[in-house]
């Protein structure tokens, strides 16, 4: 068994993926170190979501290998592995028949924590994402606003304190104000819980705001891997395309 660098939570080596006879990812290499947020940026169909889903095994890796916590994915029990990776998607994907408490406590329950410890953990997590536990614990997802649902989704992903968080365009369907609030909350969270995250978005502003490093994907390959500051000065065609959209500040005449 090959052992990856000790500080790397996630290491993707020469990953290629095919789905339905279509090549989605070609020879992707990416290392995510502890505590950093790597944003996968790209337009629709560039493979960023597939890359994210390959990490937690929702999409089978074709060739290449993914190392999580120094261990190859093929060596992991996939269910155990997923419980060590929080997962947040657009519209949260909360269980509609469960209360906020049951949703947030899911992974701790799956890991057989005792009830008192789960309840305490749920309270802590709700506070962490800015929801008053007393008020929200017993609500159902349909009794929440979009932003609140997404906060619950993040709390659920933090459930059993996983070393890696995966975000798939979590804020894409929120209104701009709520989105900005949640982005700020995300930055705060990074200070308080110091989590490692892989974050998919097509929004270059969001990428610049949240990323430690940006991986710019195009046609299934990483065209550019750069810090936000480097990204702003980048000259690759896709980076230029994204930056052009950023500079074009439209104002009424």
Partner 1 sequence: MNSRLAAEIWLLSLQHLRLVGLTILIAAAIALPGAVLLARRPVARRWALGFTNIAQTVPSLALFGFLLPFIGIGERTAILALSLYALLPILRNSLTGIVGVDAAVRESALAMGMTERQILWQVELPLAVPSIVAGLRIATVTTIGTATIAAFIGAGGLGVFLVRGISMMDKPALLAGALPAAAMALMADEGLEWIERKLSPG
Minimum CB distance to partner 1 smaller for 32 or for 81: 81
Minimum CB distance to partner 1 smaller for 47 or for 108: 108
**What is d(CA 120, CA 211) in angstroms, rounded to the nearest whole number?**
31
Q: How far is the CB of 63 from partner 1 (least distance, A)?
A: 23
Minimum CB distance to partner 1 smaller for 106 or for 125: 106
Interface with partner 1 by CB under 8 A: which residues? 56, 58, 79-83, 85, 87, 89-97, 106-107, 110, 140-142, 156-157, 159, 166
Long-range contacts of 68-77 (CB under 8 A, 24+ apart): 68/9, 68/10, 68/164, 69/9, 69/163, 70/3, 70/4, 70/6, 70/8, 71/1, 72/1, 72/2, 75/1
Burial 184-202 (b: 16+ CB within 10 A, else e): ebbeebbeeeebbbbbbbb
Minimum CB distance to partner 1 smaller for 77 or for 248: 77
Q: How far is the CB of 183 from partner 1 (least distance, A)?
A: 21
**Paired tokens of 131:** 């929801």
């Amino acid at each position: 068994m090959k052992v990856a660098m000790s500080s790397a939570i996630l290491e993707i080596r020469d990953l290629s993926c095919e789905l339905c006879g279509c090549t989605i990812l070609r020879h992707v290499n990416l290392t995510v170190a502890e505590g950093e947020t790597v944003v996968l940026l790209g337009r629709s169909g560039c493979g960023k979501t597939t890359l994210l889903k390959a990490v937690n095994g929702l999409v089978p890796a074709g060739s290449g290998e993914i190392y999580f916590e120094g261990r190859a994915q093929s060596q992991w029990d996939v269910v155990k592995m997923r419980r060590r990776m929080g997962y947040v998607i657009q519209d949260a994907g909360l269980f509609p028949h469960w209360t906020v408490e049951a949703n947030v406590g899911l992974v701790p329950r799956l890991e057989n924590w005792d009830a008192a410890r789960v309840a305490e953990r749920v309270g802590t997590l709700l506070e962490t994402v800015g929801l008053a536990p007393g008020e929200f614990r017993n609500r159902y997802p349909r009794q929440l606003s979009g932003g609140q649902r997404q906060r619950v989704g993040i709390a659920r992903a933090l459930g059993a304190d996983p070393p890696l968080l995966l975000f798939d365009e979590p804020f894409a369907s929120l209104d701009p104000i709520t989105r900005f609030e949640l982005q700020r909350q995300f930055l705060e969270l990074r200070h308080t819980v110091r989590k490692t995250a892989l974050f998919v978005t097509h929004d270059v502003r969001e990428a610049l705001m949240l990323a430690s490093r940006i991986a710019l994907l195009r046609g299934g390959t990483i065209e550019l891997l750069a810090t936000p500051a480097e990204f702003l000065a980048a000259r690759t065609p896709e980076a230029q395309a994204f930056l052009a959209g950023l500079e074009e500040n439209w104002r009424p005449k």
